């Protein structure tokens, strides 16, 4: 057989047909599936003490050694891997493009019911129909939702892991496992040039009856499933690219174990002034290495960030970065907003003719631009100054999350608590300077609030913001 791969893995779950898929794969010349090689409770199969001359104890000490044995086995060898198997081996599996990925899926309610029946009967495989044990599953809503969450989370992790590594998988549905054409196609993809004429093994499907006949509280199950949002209709779409932690922007107090993780567009200047008031020179320009060193040196440290209301934050950014022509302004974006998005921004600034009515129209246009920009509908970058705060917080989590997330309106009390936690009595922070040339107060109305909600639906929902006023 052609050596397309060095090994393979079947990503599956309990009661998805993985035993049958393994049996089918083992029918092909040169292909061998070795069971659940990295199941933490056994090695390969429940009655085995070793696999490829590696004991369970040796595998647990060094899982990579067993993976190397699988790679070097005669022919093409592989194994089944479930979401609760040894997590240490998942990254090496995904990292290696020479390991073929097969993803086996099944309707989660079918796998759940089959799992519950197997738990009752203690019959996990069926080779003789006459010995089949009969039972009905009892549906439990909370139990099923936990089951579903585990399956879906793992599938998302797999998908993202393959995408970021530029790999793809061979997907097999439960119903495909006994489809000779699909199995021959899978074998051909793995490098086997000799197709099967038919299946010849003893495994049988255990519960072929309709699901209504297999669940004792079927009506209750129907009602519970009807309340689940199967198609995720209640989701808030998010088209922002994933972003990492903006470590170079982090600020540490000079003499106190406090680390500020700013969100652009927030009250950065006021918070940094407060940190400086604690004493010592502020520490800036972190990278990931120096940040980890600071975290290790400062035992008992506290990390924090400050949220600003989405509407107020957008207005601040508009005034400071778009309307102004200062050194920190975005001149090129300003020109695009003026020429292509028709924002009534004066060519020369400051402009005595610029009034509240014009400011209201220009800022409203900026909010409409943000909505389109975050939805991926413009050719301009999604700048951190107006990226969603929920997305920025998510990016922080790639390295370390803040201990405390404050809101600008609670900043005095929140910073005082932080200082007390590290044994300091801190000065009161100064209020952030009002945005000019025209304050948000002067132009605020329900329409602007609606534009902000349309631009930042996730921030309003996930971070619990109400109306600005």
Mean pLDDT, residues 261-280: 94
Structure tokens given for 92: 């090496």
Per-residue confidence (pLDDT) for residue 169, from 0 to 100:
97
With respect to residue 27, please indicate whether it lies within any of the assigned structural domains. yes
pLDDT digits (tens, 9 = 90+) for 168-201: 999 999 889 989 999 999 999 999 999 999 886 6
Q: Which residue has the higher pLDDT, 37 or 349?
A: 37
Band of the pLDDT at 261, cuts 50, 70, 90? very high
Asked whether residue 124 is assigned to any structural domain, the reply reads yes
Q: How many residues does the chain have?
A: 469
Q: How far is CA 103 from the centre of its chain?
A: 19
State residue 414's pLDDT score.
Answer: 95
Burial-class residue 444 by CB neighbours within 10 Å (0-12, 13-18, 19+).
Answer: middle
pTM score, whole prediction: 0.71
Find the range with the poorest average confidence among 198-207, 273-282, 362-371.
Answer: 198-207
**pLDDT one-digit tens code per residue, 148-174:** 888 888 999 999 999 999 999 999 998
Q: What per-residue confidence (pLDDT) applies to 327? A: 86
What mean pLDDT do residues 367-394 have?
93
DSSP structure class, residue 369:
H
Do 7 and 100 touch, CB atoms closer than 8 A?
yes
Sheet strands (E) in 222-267: 251-252, 258-260
Residue 154 lies in a domain: yes
CA angle 157-394-319, nearest 5°? Answer: 145
CA distance 293 to 288: 9
- The pLDDT of residue 215 is 87
Instruction: Please indicate, yes or no, if residue 307 is contained in any of the structural domains.
Output: no
Residue with token string 């998302």: 156
Number of domains within the chain: 1
In-domain check, residue 378: no
pLDDT at 129: 44
Asked if the model's pLDDT at residue 64 lies above 50, the reply is: yes
- Contact between 285 and 275 under an 8 Å Cβ cutoff? The reply is no
Q: Is residue 436 part of a domain?
A: no
User: Residue 189: helix, strand or coil by DSSP?
Assistant: helix
Q: For 323, which DSSP code?
A: I
157, part of any domain:
yes
**Is 131 a domain residue?**
yes
Residue 44, pLDDT above cutoff 90: yes
Domain that holds residue 90: 7-227
Q: Which two tokens stand for residue 303?
A: 């990390």
Assign residue 32 the CATH number of its domain: 3.40.50
Q: What is the pLDDT of residues 326-343, one digit of tens each?
A: 888 999 999 999 999 999
Q: Is the pLDDT of residue 204 over 70?
A: no
Q: What is the pLDDT of residue 1?
A: 66
pLDDT above 90 for 207? no
Q: Which three-class secondary structure state does DSSP give residue 128? A: coil
Euclidean distance between CA atoms 189 and 386, whole angstroms = 46
pLDDT value of residue 280: 87
> What are the start-end ranges of the E strands in 360-448?
404-407
pLDDT at 200: 67
pLDDT per position as a tens digit, 287-297: 999 999 999 99
């Amino acid at each position: 057989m052609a050596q397309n791969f060095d090994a393979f893995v079947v990503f599956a779950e309990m009661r998805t047909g993985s035993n049958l898929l393994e049996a089918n794969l083992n029918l092909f010349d040169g292909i061998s599936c070795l069971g659940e090689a990295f199941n933490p409770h056994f090695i390969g199969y429940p009655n085995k003490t070793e696999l490829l001359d590696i004991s369970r104890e040796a595998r647990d000490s060094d899982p990579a050694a067993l993976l190397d044995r699988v790679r070097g086995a005669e022919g093409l060898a592989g194994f089944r891997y479930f979401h609760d198997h040894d997590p240490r081996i998942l990254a090496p599996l995904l990292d290696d493009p020479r390991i073929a990925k097969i993803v086996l899926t099944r309707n989660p309610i079918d796998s759940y019911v089959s799992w519950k029946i197997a738990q009752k009967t203690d019959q996990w495989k069926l080779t003789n129909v006459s010995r089949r044990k009969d039972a009905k599953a009892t549906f439990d809503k909370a139990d099923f939702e936990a089951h579903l969450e585990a399956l879906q989370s793992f599938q998302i992790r797999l998908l993202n892991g393959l995408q970021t590594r530029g790999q793809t998988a061979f997907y097999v549905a439960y119903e495909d496992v006994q489809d000779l054409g699909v199995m021959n196609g899978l074998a051909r993809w793995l490098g086997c040039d000799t197709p099967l004429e038919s299946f010849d093994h003893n495994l049988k499907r255990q519960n072929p009856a309709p699901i209504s006949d297999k669940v004792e509280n079927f009506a209750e199950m129907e009602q519970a499933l009807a309340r689940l949002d199967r198609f995720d209709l209640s989701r808030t779409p998010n088209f922002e690219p994933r972003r990492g932690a903006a470590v170079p922007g982090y600020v540490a107090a000079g003499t106190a174990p406090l680390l500020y993780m700013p969100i652009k567009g927030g009250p950065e200047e006021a918070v940094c002034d407060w940190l400086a008031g604690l004493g010592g020179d502020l520490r800036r320009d972190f990278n990931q290495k120096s940040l980890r060193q600071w975290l290790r040196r400062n035992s008992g440290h506290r990390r924090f960030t400050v949220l600003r209301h989405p509407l107020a934050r957008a207005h601040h950014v508009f005034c400071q970065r778009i309307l102004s022509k200062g050194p920190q302004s975005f001149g090129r974006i300003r020109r695009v907003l003026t020429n292509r998005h028709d924002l009534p921004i004066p060519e020369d600034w400051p402009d005595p003719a610029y009034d509240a009515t014009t400011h209201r129209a220009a800022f409203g246009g900026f909010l409409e631009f943000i909505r389109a920009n975050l939805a991926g509908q413009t050719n301009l970058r999604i700048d951190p100054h107006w990226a969603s705060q929920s997305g920025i917080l998510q990016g922080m989590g790639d390295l370390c999350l803040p201990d405390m997330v404050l809101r600008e309106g609670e900043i005095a009390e929140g910073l005082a608590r932080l200082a007390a936690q590290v044994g300091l009595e801190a000065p009161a922070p100064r209020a952030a300077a009002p945005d000019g040339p025209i304050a948000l107060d002067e132009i605020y109305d329900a329409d602007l609030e609606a534009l902000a909600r349309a631009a930042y639906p996730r921030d309003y929902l996930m971070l619990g913001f109400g109306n600005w006023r």
